[in-house]
């Protein structure tokens, strides 16, 4: 279970509680004897909603910034990685030819984009050695990345 799942579960339970304290099924009015409880559960729902959105944003940001070490744990069978010169991972593959094809496709896409036409695309193995540059030529000097 992760944080988002836990928050979602708490949200559902709080929503159920609010329903129980509500006079109608739309949960817009409290029952006469449960005004305090209804207000507390309504406030909890709003806070949980905010926390869920924050967690979604955090998870989204984390997914973009995974390190190579994390990616190896997530995709243990992956041998080759395609990434651009800005450090963004673009694709993963277990075959070098497939990784090269991905790199060429991304490079073609970047060349059409005025903002990104100078961005390079490279294929690395899981040790971090640069094996291929997306212009169709092999990398003469082997580089490593963190």
Task: Give the residue extent of every domain in the chain.
Answer: 3-64, 68-138
Residue 75 tokens read as 């995709």
Please tell me the predicted confidence (pLDDT) of residue 60: 67
66-118 pLDDT tens trace = 566 666 666 667 788 888 887 777 787 888 898 888 888 888 888 887 777 77
Handedness of CA 14, 16, 21, 22 (dihedral sign): positive
Mean pLDDT over 41-58 rounds to 90
């Amino acid at each position: 279970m992760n944080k988002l799942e836990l928050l979602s579960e708490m949200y559902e339970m709080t929503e159920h509680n609010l329903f129980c304290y509500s006079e109608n099924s739309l949960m817009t009015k409290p029952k006469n004897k449960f005004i305090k409880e209804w207000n507390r559960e309504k406030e909890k729902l709003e806070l949980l909603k905010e926390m869920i959105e924050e967690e979604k944003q955090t998870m989204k940001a984390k997914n973009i910034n995974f390190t190579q070490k994390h990616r190896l744990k997530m995709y243990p069978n992956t041998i080759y990685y395609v990434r651009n010169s800005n450090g963004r991972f673009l694709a993963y593959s277990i075959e070098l030819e497939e990784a090269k094809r991905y790199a060429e496709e991304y490079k073609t896409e970047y060349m059409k984009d005025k903002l990104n036409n100078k961005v390079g695309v490279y294929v690395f193995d899981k040790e971090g050695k640069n094996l291929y540059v997306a212009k169709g030529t092999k990398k003469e000097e082997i580089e490593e990345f963190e």
